[in-house]
Structure 1
């Protein structure tokens, strides 16, 4: 891509590239605060409710297995369309669930869809954004997801106050998925809008394969073969990044569980999480600027330290008389810590991915991260069942500092575009 295109034609692709992501994430953000409440309404214990909430990240982990192959096979826009259909199926299943296990299946389907949807957009950004703007672009993509996690809970709180129906936010998710599909079908495909770039021509010159041949080759590289091929870098950087993902996933599960545990109703919990999401969203571009200017280390490590401290702090507030106030304070602090690291995992994946065919590697990278993201909620559920929710929070917080050590050991200290 030429210097004259250093803004990577952002204005021409911003709407078709980011609007579907925003709509999809609003639907997901609307249901996240109410998953534990939905489970307890069906008779689940607090530990089982945590397990059901973990189905979202577990579904993302399973979805990472075929996601690189799917995107390489049918293209990113078509993959996103199919993902919205699977998400609708999962949401409708959750609405009609007569038993906690059926609810778990519905949430698992939503996680599968989220994995394919996110990988498709990640692959597009990796292929078409120049490295000098990569962190800001991927932080913007991360910020778009955070926008959904900001707006979704507020919409859910409003609907809950109007209807009093805990399952009503699931219909918000259905509406958002339908809107996502309409946008994908009506707006131009950003890849075709972008046209042939200098970067893609350079890749074609160094690797003279027709597009169809490239897709066939990508199909042949399955997730587990890719994991083996890149095992060295995935073991080193993947360890720290998977712990970052674990703390992020824990935050999304433990805050709604904490609201149930201290007796807050669903609407208040959703409102608090929405307010915290505003802090998270406000910082996404700042994190990208720091990464592009100083390197990835300068957001990854502070973000992970903050997430660890927030979880440990939460563990000491459960039985205080002012626990509701502390819940708000810690939720905001966790969002502040998470927001400064917006886009860092996607940026690291894009840095490491082969430029000619990023989807298979990104599928493996996301699989490693989502393995951490899936493990954390399951660990919370297990520790809550065996001990208590505060002990689970403290254990997850302590894990953060293991990740900090891995990042300090292996993450580069320089800005990659220099």
Structure 2
């Protein structure tokens, strides 16, 4: 068997081996989260919140995720991915209980914040898990599937929520549904195949030919230890350097490539902030607006695996740069169509262009983070990496709102377009420097 064929078999075997541990919990968790996200303003209104406070409650889940990334990296480094996900699932159930019995808007807000805080633990654990166990040549596809699993839940969750509302006529039903999803996630993680045990079995199998004096023909640099546990204090390896020390050690990379990745995250987030506002601004009714945004979302979801294929076969830049150019050009062109007689037509066309760009970007941030993370104990670095990318997403709605208030919505949209185009140039500069292609 040739080296390439053996590597292909090993890569696909890795995807099959760990799918129940990664993709199943990801899709189930995001399904439950997607069911409650659209209803957070309504749940806040039940507690007597006005529009401003309701918006704050909706933002609490994003703020919680941003705040939880670095602690999540520390926890994964200390106790491992499996225990981190179990702890996060149990803590999330406490957040669900708080939402169900919240006596005040403050308790509701803290409960939503806790859900976001725990969501970061799931995200960092999954990211670390795939970083350390999937060969480089299949990494982008594996992580694109993680992103696709999340998008599947986010895409279908609102439909589940709508069905539950029609059946029970109560937003609380979706909270109960999220709780049931969390129990399912905990069961999958606790009672599913033990990836550490599988890794040890694979390690023993790989070591057997060496003991007989036979060198395996898969000798290329895959970029990480595909078998075996992450070398942390919990597995008998070297003591973890810690989150702060890791951030300082990789400060140059995080300041350059990390900020570039944050620009992609910002442009992605802008589509959720700008497109609905733009539709309202040009006078679209809610049904037409929902149809345009929904079709664009379907296009995004349909392309998630294409992004992984492109990155694995041709390199990371071939997905990152076209994605940023399409989204940047889409927002930039949209800024000049507001007062045209054909503004509705251009809105639909450019929303699809932006959707294609976002679909091509699926898995890029996960993949680049995995590419540049240290091979041993990557969790502290990935927590820092995700803090930057989540920060870009969290700040964008605030920036769009501030520029719209100070100038206009077209100006805010043009600024997003500029960020996308500048980000494309930054990817061209920093990806070859920090994440050059490896032997495939």
Q: TM-score under structure 1 normalisation? A: 0.83
Tell me the equivalent position of 1:44: 50
Q: Tell me how far apart the structure 1 counterparts of residues 184 and 28 of structure 2 sit (CA, whole Å).
A: 7
Equivalent positions of 1:253-402 (< 5 A) are 253-254=273-274, 275-312=295-332, 332-383=352-403, 392-402=412-422
1:116 aligns with 2:138: no
Tell me the equivalent position of 1:175: 180
The CA deviation at 1:29 is 1.9
Q: Tell me how far apart the structure 2 counterparts of residues 30 and 229 of structure 1 sit (CA, whole Å).
A: 40
Tell me the equivalent position of 1:415: 437
Equivalent positions of 1:187-198 (< 5 A) are 187-195=192-200, 196-197=202-203
CA contact (8 A) 2:328 2:420 kept: yes
Structure with bigger gyration radius: 2
CA contact (8 A) 2:134 2:226 kept: no
CA contact (8 A) 2:14 2:133 kept: no
The CA deviation at 1:304 is 2.1
Secondary structure of 1:88's partner? Answer: helix
Provide closer, same or farther for how the CA distance between residues 114 and 182 of structure 1 changes in structure 2, counting only shifts above 3 A.
same
Q: Tell me how far apart the structure 1 counterparts of residues 42 and 340 of structure 2 sit (CA, whole Å).
A: 23
Equivalent positions of 1:88-237 (< 5 A) are 88-94=93-99, 102-166=107-171, 168-195=173-200, 196-197=202-203, 200=225, 212-214=235-237, 217-218=239-240, 220-222=241-243, 224-237=244-257
Q: Tell me how far apart the structure 2 counterparts of residues 146 and 43 of structure 1 sit (CA, whole Å).
A: 30
Q: Tell me how far apart the structure 1 counterparts of residues 103 and 336 of structure 2 sit (CA, whole Å).
A: 36
Tell me the equivalent position of 1:405: 425
Worse overlay, 349-358 or 251-260: 251-260
The CA deviation at 1:287 is 0.6
Provide closer, same or farther for how the CA distance between residues 209 and 297 of structure 1 changes in structure 2, counting only shifts above 3 A.
closer
CA contact (8 A) 1:138 1:347 kept: yes
Provide closer, same or farther for how the CA distance between residues 283 and 244 of structure 1 changes in structure 2, counting only shifts above 3 A.
same
Q: Tell me how far apart the structure 2 counterparts of residues 315 and 17 of structure 1 sit (CA, whole Å).
A: 40
The CA deviation at 1:176 is 1.7
Provide closer, same or farther for how the CA distance between residues 402 and 183 of structure 1 changes in structure 2, counting only shifts above 3 A.
same
Q: Deviations over 1:97-156 (max 9, x none)?
A: 566655443332222111110110111111111111111111111111111112112212
Q: Tell me how far apart the structure 2 counterparts of residues 251 and 226 of structure 1 sit (CA, whole Å).
A: 33
CA contact (8 A) 2:78 2:232 kept: no
Secondary structure of 2:239's partner? Answer: helix
Secondary structure of 1:403's partner? Answer: helix
CA contact (8 A) 2:39 2:171 kept: yes
Tell me the equivalent position of 2:217: none
What are structure 2's unaligned runs of at least 5 residues? 207-223
The CA deviation at 1:321 is 9.4
Secondary structure of 2:50's partner? Answer: coil
Q: Tell me how far apart the structure 1 counterparts of residues 349 and 176 of structure 2 sit (CA, whole Å).
A: 30
CA contact (8 A) 1:240 1:406 kept: yes
Provide closer, same or farther for how the CA distance between residues 114 and 133 of structure 1 changes in structure 2, counting only shifts above 3 A.
same
CA contact (8 A) 1:154 1:271 kept: no
Q: Tell me how far apart the structure 2 counterparts of residues 106 and 264 of structure 1 sit (CA, whole Å).
A: 34
Q: Tell me how far apart the structure 2 counterparts of residues 263 and 141 of structure 1 sit (CA, whole Å).
A: 34
CA contact (8 A) 2:403 2:409 kept: yes
Provide closer, same or farther for how the CA distance between residues 268 and 240 of structure 1 changes in structure 2, counting only shifts above 3 A.
same
Q: Tell me how far apart the structure 1 counterparts of residues 62 and 86 of structure 2 sit (CA, whole Å).
A: 20
Worse overlay, 11-20 or 122-131: 11-20
Provide closer, same or farther for how the CA distance between residues 151 and 272 of structure 1 changes in structure 2, counting only shifts above 3 A.
farther
Provide closer, same or farther for how the CA distance between residues 209 and 69 of structure 1 changes in structure 2, counting only shifts above 3 A.
closer
CA contact (8 A) 1:296 1:412 kept: no
Q: Tell me how far apart the structure 2 counterparts of residues 303 and 12 of structure 1 sit (CA, whole Å).
A: 31
Q: Deviations over 1:353-403 (max 9, x none)?
A: 111221122122112212212222332444456566665444434322332
Tell me the equivalent position of 2:262: 242
CA contact (8 A) 2:231 2:377 kept: no
Among candidates 6, 11, 20, match of residue 6 of structure 1? 11
Q: Which has the higher contact order (CA 8 A, sep 6+)?
A: 1
Q: Deviations over 1:131-186 (max 9, x none)?
A: 11111111111111111112112212323344454554333322222221122222
What are structure 1's unaligned runs of at least 5 residues? none
Q: Tell me how far apart the structure 2 counterparts of residues 43 and 351 of structure 1 sit (CA, whole Å).
A: 44
Q: TM-score under structure 2 normalisation? A: 0.79
